[in-house]
């Protein structure tokens, strides 16, 4: 759905932009934010993958409730 993809794009930009303010001393600086589709994840869900400098990875899934 177009709305979910637009929301993911906004969230990804916001997360990247806000974490950049922590400065390069923070473990969150330089975080890589990509969406599931761009990474080719085999899922029907929409979401973001956050990769930190130390190699740890987190996934945020976006589900429409209504």
Q: What is the pLDDT of residues 8-47, one digit of tens each?
A: 889 888 887 766 666 666 566 678 888 898 889 888 889 9
Of 38, 43, 42, nearest in space to 12 by CA: 38
* Cβ neighbours around 47 below 10 Å, total: 19
- Name the region of 20 (left: φ>0; alpha: ψ -120 to 50; beta: rest): alpha
Residue 30 in tokens: 């330089």
**pLDDT recorded at residue 38:** 87
Give this prediction's pTM.
0.75
Return the beta strands (E) in the chain as ranges: 32-35, 46-51, 57-62
3 phi and psi, to 5 degrees? -60, -45
């Amino acid at each position: 759905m177009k709305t979910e993809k637009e929301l993911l794009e906004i969230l990804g930009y916001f997360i990247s932009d806000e974490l950049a303010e922590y400065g390069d001393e923070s473990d969150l600086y330089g975080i890589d934010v990509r969406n599931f589709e761009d990474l080719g994840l085999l899922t029907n869900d929409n979401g973001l993958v956050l990769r930190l400098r130390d190699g740890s990875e987190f996934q945020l899934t976006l589900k429409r409730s209504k």
